[in-house]
Amino acid sequence: MSLSMLCNQCSMSMIGGCGSKGQEIGTCGKDKNLSQLQDIMIYGLKGLSAYRTHADEFGADTKEVDDVIAQTLYFTLTNVNFNFDDHIAQLMKIGQAGVRMMDILSEAHT
């Protein structure tokens, strides 16, 4: 059985996750594409946060990256913006923050 969507990202999720009973749209109005983009954002944040924690051990200034993390958490948790292009733009910010984090760590190690 192939699910059209599966989303368990918010407090409005059905038991078992939205889509677990064949729904095309989540309780909040999110579709499969946005749900998957937000999953990717969350995975990106996990990696970014691990590097950020490592940089903290060096006392590195991570404000720029911290801001992206906070913006993305707000973006994914509030479920008020379902614009695909906005999601792609935010996902790109996560990628750019990852590159910046690598620069910060490189500088901290030297």
Residue 69 inside a domain? The answer is yes
Q: CATH code at 91? A: 1.20.1270.20
Contact 86, 107 (CB under 8 A): no
Number of residues written out for the chain: 110
Is residue 16 domain-resident? no
Residue type, 76: T
Q: What whole-number distance in Å separates Cα of residue 71 and Cα of residue 65?
A: 10
Residue 96: inside a domain, yes or no? yes
- Per the structure, the complete domain to which residue 59 belongs is given by 32-109
Whether residue 5 is contained in a domain is answered as no
Tell me whether residue 97 is in a domain: yes
In a domain, 23, yes or no: no
Whether residue 17 lies inside any domain: the answer is no
pLDDT of 11 strictly over 80: no
pTM, full prediction: 0.83
Q: How confident is the model at residue 3 (pLDDT cuts 50, 70, 90)?
A: low
Number of separate domains in the chain: 1
* 74-98 mean pLDDT: 92
Find, among 26, 28, 8, 24, the residue nearest to 16 by Cα: 8
